[in-house]
Amino acid sequence: MLELNRIYNLKCEDGIPQLADNSIDLVVTSPPYNVGWGGYIDNRPYEEYINWLEGIFSLLYPKLCPGGRRCVNIGEGKKFTAWAYGIWRFAPESQMVRVFDHDAVFPEELPRRCIKMLSWIGAVVLDPFSGTGTTAVVAYELGRNYIGFEEVKKHYQTSLKRLRWSRHKLL
Ligand SMILES: C[S@@+](CC[C@H](N)C(=O)[O-])C[C@H]1O[C@@H](n2cnc3c(N)ncnc32)[C@H](O)[C@@H]1O
């Protein structure tokens, strides 16, 4: 069984089945945008991409507690736009390429709003595409538990560094 407050250097397809059923209160994530970025498969034909994402979300479903929520940050596209209930606009994360060496870090404000609105102190927040660990860092700073999965080792290592900085900041 996986431990809380850890990021795992695993594909989420392999990590999610190891989570206990009904153990996750909130999912906050930004899946790959399928625009051809490096380090993982990011150029699937559109239907295949949607089917792959649907497969992952169906793996997640039994892991959510009753009433658990999923917040998914997605790229633009007809189907995606139709799925969205509203649009939030943020300045992009400006340190992402220079400091984090990642093309798609989301601004901390995005997981912060989701986590504050939809969870409570001690809740368990999962990011199955954890990247540089933004969701985990914010969850930790807000007194939530976190779990993350990240396939690419260098991003996983960046997330461990960011979590260490956060722990220092809060000590
Ligand atoms: C859009 S980025 C997420 C960035 C993250 N929100 C952040 O702030 O750093 C998507 C991430 O998913 C990772 N990824 C792609 N396929 C994956 C998989 N099957 N399992 C786990 N991680 C995966 C990529 O390496 C990338 O870091």
pLDDT tens digits along 121-161: 999 999 999 999 999 999 999 999 999 999 999 999 999 99
Distance set, CA 159 to CA 20, 100, 134 (Å): 23, 9, 8
The CATH T-level fold of domain 6-170 is Rossmann fold (3.40.50)
Domain boundaries, the chain: 6-170
pLDDT tens digits along 27-61: 999 999 887 766 677 788 889 999 999 999 999 99
User: In terms of pTM, does the model score above 0.75?
Assistant: yes
Residue 115 burial (C-beta neighbours within 10 Å; 0-12, 13-18, 19+): buried
| Mean pLDDT (whole number) for 84-111 | 79
Residues with CB under 6 A from ligand 1: 11-13, 30, 32, 39-40, 102, 104-106, 129, 131-132, 134, 149-152, 155
Rounded-to-integer distance, Cα 51 and Cα 49, Å: 5
